[in-house]
Structure formats: structure tokens, C-alpha cells
């Protein structure tokens, strides 16, 4: 099946209701070819779900509501096969293969490493991604206008927003010069985001102190090193691994009285 639309969008909350509604529409369009003919009695469609961790209940409920409106009910004619990497991106290829072997009808992916693993595992099963930071740069699609292949979804166009986030921090922190950055260099989508962030920092006269968090085991050390450089603000680049530990990062920012900005979700945390 060829997917012919990759929809660019603004920076959206990873599991915000509006994004899930758009995803539901995409799922409906992708599943439609399988149901264009007379459906065999008792046909059950299987959707693989590949993510770092389980999604927030609100977003998941929105997805199920949208599918229900189109006649797909979980437990009746729809079954989800869920696989979670638990913050270990190296597990995605194995988990994607588990979904492909029994041949699900469609794979829903969250985060670029999961999408890349699914794309490498199959060139025929449709893949839907809820939010891609840089799908072209990461090698997921040929272009936004003509993605080709079997993958479709949403692009958040995050790289272009890096400068705006640093500008925001500079506005709310008088005399800002040092900004700590948490990011996951192992996520291919973050390469362009990091380049844009560096360029924006240079233009704004800001010094960046970056810490690479590639797995759950790296966060404690990264935060300890961040505290040592005594930054005046904290920028967290969008990545599902870091979203898993959002509360921990918020507590760190509060403890050290840092203004902090999370790339996803339009959130800025005040010093407390």
C-alpha cells in the first residue's frame, strides 16, 4: 500500500486531543482499502502499536473514540498489539519484527526510532506516525509533499522552532548567557534540531551546555553534570525518552530555580 500524504503541522502536544483526531482520520483512510470490498463475517483488524511507553489515557481514549465512530471497536473487530521499548531504543527493531511476523494490518508508531525500526521491518504494512520531528532528515520519507513508501503521519517541524524557544528563554531570564540542554543524540530526528539550536544560540549570544541522554540510566548523571555548570535556564529537546522522565526534570528545574522549556507541548516551567 502506498501512503501519499504526510501532513506538516505546528508544534503539537505529543498526545494532544487534536493530534489524535488527525491520527484517527489517517487510520480510517489507511484501513479503508482493506474494507473497500465486502467484509468477511467476523473480520478482526489488528493494529500494531510501537512506542517508548504507554500513551496518556486522554490521548488513547480519543483514538479509540475516533475509531469507534468509524465502526471499529476494540475487542470486537479491532485488536491492538502493543509493544513498548521502556526507554531502550535498541529494542525497537526486535519489537517491530514481533509485530510484522504475525502480519498486523497497520502499525502505529510513536517517536522516530520506532518509525525507522518499523520501516526497516516492512515495506508493505502501512505505518502511521503521530508526530515526526524531521521525517525527511531522518530518512523516513522522501519529502513531505511526496513521501512515497508505506509511511504517513504528522510532522511537527520542530527544527525551525529551536530559535524561538531560546528567544523565549532569553526574554524571561534577564541577562541570560548560559543554557543547559538535555537531548537524545541517538534519535536521528534530533540531529537537525541540535544544529538549529546551536545556530540560534550563536546568533543570540548564548552558551550551550549539552548533556546527551540516550537511555534511562543516563538521566541522573546528565542532571548532575548540568547542576555543576550552574546554568541560568534549561532547554529540553523533544524526545519520547525525555518525556518519560518529565516529572523528574521538572523537579530538578524547580530545585535549582531554573526557567525551563520543554520542546514539545508549548510548556515553559517557572523557577520555583
Gap between the Cα atoms of 20 and 249, Å rounded: 26
pLDDT confidence bin for 144, thresholds 50/70/90? confident
- Whole-model pTM? 0.65
**What pLDDT score does 159 carry?**
58
Across 117-165, the runs of DSSP E, i.e. the strands, are 127-132, 151-155
Quote the cell numbers at residue 251.
523537579
pLDDT confidence bin for 243, thresholds 50/70/90? confident
pLDDT confidence bin for 121, thresholds 50/70/90? very high
User: What value, to the nearest 5°, has the Cα angle with vertex 64 and ends 63 and 69?
Assistant: 100
**What pLDDT score does 134 carry?**
76
Predicted confidence (pLDDT) at residue 8 exceeds the cutoff of 80: no
Nearest Cα to Cα of residue 213 among 164, 256, 180: 180
Predicted confidence (pLDDT) at residue 23 exceeds the cutoff of 90: no
Torsion region of 101: left, alpha or beta (phi above 0 gives left; psi -120 to 50 gives alpha): alpha
CB half-sphere exposure, 206, CA atoms < 13 A: 32
Predicted confidence (pLDDT) at residue 78 exceeds the cutoff of 90: no
pLDDT confidence bin for 160, thresholds 50/70/90? low
Residues 218-227: pLDDT tens digits? 999 999 999 9
Q: What mean pLDDT value characterizes the chain?
A: 79
pLDDT confidence bin for 32, thresholds 50/70/90? low
Domains of the chain: 6-155 (3.40.50.2300), 159-269 (3.40.50.2300)
User: What value, to the nearest 5°, has the Cα angle with vertex 104 and ends 108 and 116?
Assistant: 45
Q: Are 217 and 242 in contact (CB under 8 A)?
A: no
Q: Are 241 and 211 in contact (CB under 8 A)?
A: no
Gap between the Cα atoms of 95 and 50, Å rounded: 8
- Torsion angle defined by CA atoms of residues 100, 108, 245 and 212, in that order, rounded to the nearest 10 degrees: 70
Predicted confidence (pLDDT) at residue 11 exceeds the cutoff of 50: no
Gap between the Cα atoms of 159 and 141, Å rounded: 17
Q: Are 142 and 240 in contact (CB under 8 A)?
A: no
Tell me the average pLDDT across 128-151: 79
Residues 206-216: pLDDT tens digits? 999 999 998 88
Predicted confidence (pLDDT) at residue 117 exceeds the cutoff of 70: yes
Q: Are 52 and 114 in contact (CB under 8 A)?
A: yes
**What pLDDT score does 71 carry?**
80
Nearest Cα to Cα of residue 178 among 252, 237, 229: 229
Predicted confidence (pLDDT) at residue 21 exceeds the cutoff of 50: yes
Number of neighbours of residue 38 by Cβ within 10 angstroms? 6
Predicted confidence (pLDDT) at residue 199 exceeds the cutoff of 80: yes
Amino acid at each position: 500500500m502506498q501512503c501519499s500524504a504526510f501532513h506538516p503541522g505546528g508544534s503539537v502536544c505529543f498526545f494532544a486531543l487534536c493530534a489524535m483526531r488527525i491520527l484517527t482520520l489517517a487510520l480510517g483512510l489507511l484501513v479503508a482499502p482493506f474494507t473497500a470490498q465486502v467484509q468477511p463475517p467476523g473480520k478482526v483488524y489488528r493494529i500494531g502499536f510501537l512506542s517508548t511507553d504507554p500513551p496518556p489515557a486522554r490521548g488513547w481514549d480519543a483514538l479509540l473514540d475516533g475509531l469507534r465512530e468509524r465502526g471499529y471497536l476494540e475487542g470486537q473487530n479491532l485488536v491492538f498489539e502493543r509493544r513498548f521499548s521502556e526507554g531502550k531504543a535498541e529494542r525497537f527493531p526486535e519489537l517491530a519484527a514481533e509485530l510484522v511476523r504475525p502480519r498486523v494490518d497497520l502499525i502505529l508508531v510513536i517517536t522516530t526510532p520506532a518509525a525507522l525500526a518499523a520501516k526497516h521491518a516492512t515495506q508493505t504494512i502501512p505505518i502511521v506516525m503521530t508526530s515526526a520531528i524531521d521525517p525527511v532528515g531522518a530518512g523516513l520519507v522522501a519529502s513531505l509533499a511526496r513521501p512515497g513508501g508505506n509511511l504517513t503521519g504528522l510532522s511537527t517541524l520542530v527544527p525551525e522552532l529551536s530559535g524561538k524557544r531560546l528567544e523565549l528563554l532569553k526574554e524571561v531570564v534577564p541577562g541570560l548567557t548560559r543554557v543547559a540542554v538535555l537531548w537524545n543524540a541517538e534519535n536521528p530526528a534530533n540531529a537537525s534540531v541540535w544544529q538549529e539550536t546551536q545556530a540560534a544560540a550563536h546568533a543570540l549570544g548564548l552558551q550551550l551546555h549539552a548533556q546527551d541522554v540516550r537511555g534511562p540510566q543516563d538521566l541522573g548523571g546528565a542532571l548532575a553534570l548540568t547542576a555543576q555548570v550552574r546554568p541560568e535556564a534549561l532547554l529540553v529537546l523533544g524526545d519520547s525518552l525525555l518525556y518519560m522522565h518529565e516529572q523528574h526534570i521538572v523537579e530538578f528545574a524547580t530545585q535549582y530555580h531554573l526557567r525551563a522549556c520543554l520542546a514539545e507541548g508549548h510548556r515553559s516551567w517557572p523557577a520555583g
